[in-house]
Structure 1
Amino acid sequence: MSYWVLKAESADGAVIDALPEGSPTNWKFSRGEPLARQFPAGGKVSFSDHFPDRRKLYDFVRNTVGVLLVSSRVKQVLEDLQVHNAEFLPVTMCDHQWSPVAEGYGILNVLGSQDVIDLERSDCDIDPITKKEVTRVGNLVLTQGKIDPKADIFRARNMMELVLVSERVKISFEQAGLTGFKLHVAEGFDDMFA
């Protein structure tokens, strides 16, 4: 089965550089654990002042806080596929002056993980303190036979900020005409060039 690394990418789209006030700390969003109870109701995010000309909204919104910020269209595609290992944490999108410009967006928090990185065959750097977390991957080699064949969207167990999708999700995203994302072939992926 083929897998792809999912990244929010756009040359002219809005960029978000902060989580909603009262949100859990950034690192909690890459743990693969539920955050709905800790997430603030009515949360707002605004376009980054560092990118004053970038105001376009896509289905995937680039950000500097390491989350998947997506439209309700992405949520709907995943619901239609009966993907149950993700939670949608709603936010209101605001412009640079904090005026609301769109609702129906949220943080897609992918729950759980899969043992996907072949640590012996991949070119990767391991955190010297934890001795198990991958801090950089180049020429990713996927594990053989360890990925649940029913997994459609998941985090890499040793590099939890790395989110992968199945062929089924790839096709559904493309057929739905979703925007603002890029899928990189997982086998051979290098995070320095993505």
Structure 2
Amino acid sequence: MNYWVLKAESPDGAIIDAMPKDSPTNWKLSKGEPLGRQFPMGGKVSFSDHFMDRRKVYDFVRNTVGVLLVSSRVNQVLKELQVDNTEFLPVTLCDHQWNPVGKDYGVLNVLGSQDVIDMQKSDYDIDPITQKELTRLGNLVLTKDGIDPKAQVFRARDMMELILISDRVREAFVNAGLTGFVAHPAEGFDDMFA
């Protein structure tokens, strides 16, 4: 089976640069742990003031926070595929003036992780503070035996903000006409060029 690195990408889409008020801190959003009880009900996010000309809204919304911000359509496709390791944390998407432009959006929190990065063969840099998390990844080599064959959407254990999807999920996203995402082949992936 092939795997893909999932990224929200669009040349003209809106960009979000902050989570709702009273959200868990950014590092908690990439831990792969449930956050439903900590996430603010009725939270709002707005288009970044640094990108005033970026106003289009897609199913995957680019952001500088390192989360998957998606429409409910993405969540529905995953439910139809019976993916059971994600939680959808609803937010209202607002324009630059805080006028609502989409209520059917949320943070897609991918729960858990897989031991997917071959640390002997991949090229990477390790965080000098934690000495654990990877800060840069180049020429990714997968450890196929470290991936549960049932895993469809998952985080890379040594780089938790890196989200991978299976062929099945990629195909379902394409067939559903979801917009604003790119699936990069995982083998050989280099985050400097993604």
In the other structure, the counterpart of 1:167 is 167
State the match for 1:29 in structure 2: 29
Aligned to 1:132: 132
Instruction: Specify the SS of the correspondent of 2:144.
Output: coil
Matching residue's letter, 2:81: L
Deviations 1:36-70 (CA, angstroms, capped at 9, x unpaired): 00000000000111111111100000001110000
Is residue 2:24 matched to residue 1:20?
no
Equivalences for residues 1-194 of structure 1 within 5 A: 1-194=1-194
Question: What runs of 5+ residues in structure 1 fail to find an aligned partner?
Answer: none
Percent identity over the alignment is 76
Q: CA deviation at 1:102?
A: 1.1
Other structure's SS at 1:77 match: helix
Secondary structure in 1 matching 2:192:
helix
TM normalised by structure 1 equals 0.98
CA distance in 1, matches of 2:52, 2:124: 36
Query: Over aligned residue pairs, what C-alpha RMSD do you find?
Result: 0.7
Aligned-partner residue type, residue 38 of structure 1: Q
Q: CA separation in 2, counterparts of 1:146 and 1:113?
A: 10
3-state secondary structure, aligned to 1:29: helix
> 1:99 & 1:60 partners in 2: Cα distance?
19
How many residue pairs were aligned? 194
CA distance in 1, matches of 2:129, 2:19: 28
Distance 1:175 1:166 in 2: 14
